[in-house]
Homo-oligomer: A and B are copies of this chain.
């Protein structure tokens, strides 16, 4: 692993985006969100993705400096057509507006269509939690998931993030795909030539497949088959629940904004699909004094994380705890990147005539 100072990493990514013509403010917040993913140990959503962003920007599929079109606005809500702008910076700005609506009226929400990959959903939910609010963030994604009892993809991994504050800047922060796993996990099994665990995916016949290479090929050529919803195949282990949650995300993100949903959300060869987002903030003092709420949150999180672990397990975590601990370590010791991701980033910078400067941590 290579350890890079958070600020250095942000500067490199920001430099890449600005060199591609993304305005400074959008480039900076996009870089911050990408790097936040690595800092938390969510490497699938961090700078490892920069090549896809770069390709998308070069192909004109992701554009900087877009002024999103306001489709609808009320004192507590708005709907945007992102017109292919940067999903990361646009989402941050939108959540800021949702939070300020909630500051004034107790509640705020927005639904956005025609946007691009927004990184980690939890980033936006946590923005609200830091303001003594409950924060929710969702996005639909390229269709990779198969409904219970179906055999073709009809929804994305459709992540749901929910965050609520506790004492001492701690928080509960759930950020979960509605499918059992994401495509990235299948790719890891394919590289390692391991059979897929049951409950992860179905083949073209709609039944469990253990073959990662075959699955990836079937998905690429849209022959049928795909990822299973959380809960796995059929009804016995509750697969219809993950399926229901995935459709819920499509409703809030795409049906509420008039965007693409279901099987119509597709990655292109060059870049990720145009997707839809949903953000919501709910002021905690609608219900209770935030200090009382946070005291109870602290008791609950303490109780959960101090539980005796199962035979063979090390610890019980609450949602977001691992990521918060990893982020603290990243802030002290630098953000850990694989040699390969670091090299790709340096090459990417060099191809734009930039130096990837790395100070000692």
Contacts and interface: CB of A to CB of B under 8 A. Distances in A.
B247 A319 contact: yes
Interface stretch (A20-28, A89-97, A148-156, A345-353): A148-156
A3 interface: no
A287 B247 contact: no
Contact of A199 (B237, B262, B304, B308): B237
Given A205-B310, A234-B313, 18 more contacts: A77-B287, A107-B107, A109-B282, A134-B252, A149-B316, A154-B304, A162-B244, A162-B248, A172-B248, A177-B238, A181-B238, A197-B236, A230-B241, A255-B288, A257-B288, A261-B296, A262-B304, A263-B303
A86 interface: no
Contacts of A288: 72, 79, 255-258
A238 B230 contact: yes
Given A152-B307, A316-B150, A242 B230 contact: yes
A176 B238 contact: yes
Contacts of A68: none
A164 interface: yes
22 contacts: A72-B287, A79-B288, A105-B105, A106-B107, A147-B304, A147-B316, A149-B314, A150-B308, A151-B308, A174-B248, A176-B238, A177-B241, A180-B238, A197-B236, A199-B237, A206-B310, A207-B312, A230-B231, A244-B319, A247-B318, A257-B287, A263-B303
Contacts of A311: 151, 205-207
Given A230-B230, A308-B152, A287 B79 contact: yes
Contacts of A308: 150-152
B199 A232 contact: yes
State the oligomeric state as a number of copies: 2
A328 B207 CA distance: 31
Given A72-B287, A236-B197, A288-B72, A256 B293 contact: yes
Interface string A161-201: 01010000000101011001100000000000000010110
A337 interface: no
Nearest to A282: B109
Interface string A258-300: 1001110000000000000000001010111000110011001
Nearest to A280: B282
Interface residues of A, number: 83
Contacts of A237: 180, 197, 199-200, 232
Contacts of A252: 134
Given A106-B74, A231-B231, A238-B176, A150 B287 contact: no
A206 B307 CA distance: 11
A284 B230 CA distance: 27
A72 B317 CA distance: 32
A215 interface: no
Nearest to A307: B150
Contacts of A327: none
A3 to B, nearest CB: 25
A250 interface: yes
